[in-house]
Amino acid sequence: MKKNLSYIDSVHRDGRIWNIGVMLLLIAFPLTVAFLFGAAPDWGALLVGLIATAPMYWAVGVIETITFVPMLGAGGSYLSFVTGNISNLKLPCAINALEQNGVSASSEEGEIISTIAIATSSIVTTIIIIIGVICIVPLTPILEAPVLEPAFAQMLPALFGGLGVAFVSKNWKIAVAPVVLMLILFIFVPALNSGTVGIMVPVSVLFTIGVARILYKRGVL
């Protein structure tokens, strides 16, 4: 007799299948191109490059898994790691949806809401990309207009600013420490920029958890 899987069990089963499938596809594409065009890379140079860069991505992968999964839920995490753009798109969408419905990602309701929000975000992103590819030529003069350049530069800060105000207003005591830390790091460490967000978000999360625990132990919270 076939055993009926619970919702969360089916999420883990399907999530593993799709993540492994996408991983195989990502690996298969460059190998297929190399085979068809006879353009294999310099394997020695590739190995040297991997040795220099891969450990950083392994560390980021472990940290992001630990920090993002509790916020996104199981289904949302599987979907986010397949579709990408977690910190600057999927995470804000999921958090906003959970916040609007007053549920946590660890609950069954939160699991479903987070997954729907991330799936919707992925679909909308894909549609916008398709429209952008079709319209890029006629819209190029407008998008490259100097008058619009400042607006495009502030889109991501505006998104996170709106989310930040909502969460900081709930408990400003917890928010002070990570905000100060990030300001100090980005002001006095020039190497940090938008390309390091993937690393700094998990670092900030872990730092905030540590500070919140200390404040709680001292009776401040």
What is the rounded average pLDDT of the residues 111-139?
89
- pLDDT of residue 2 exceeding 60: no
Query: Please, which pLDDT band fits residue 1 given cuts at 50, 70 and 90?
Result: very low
* Mean pLDDT confidence for 182-186: 84
**pLDDT at position 44, please?**
85
Question: What contacts 63, CB < 8 A, 6 or more positions away?
Answer: 199, 202, 203, 206
| Contact indicator for 114, 95 with CB cutoff of 8 Å | no
Which of these, 188, 164, 183, lies nearest to 175 by C-alpha position?
164
Percentage of the chain modeled with pLDDT above 70: 94
| Helices 91-101 and 43-83, packing angle to 10 deg | 20
Which residue type is seen at 32?
T
Question: Which of 81-90, 122-131, 144-153, 200-209 has the highest average model confidence (pLDDT)?
Answer: 122-131
Q: Rounded mean pLDDT of 124-138?
A: 88
% of residues, the chain, pLDDT over 90: 8
pTM metric for this prediction:
0.63
Note the pLDDT of residue 105. Answer: 76
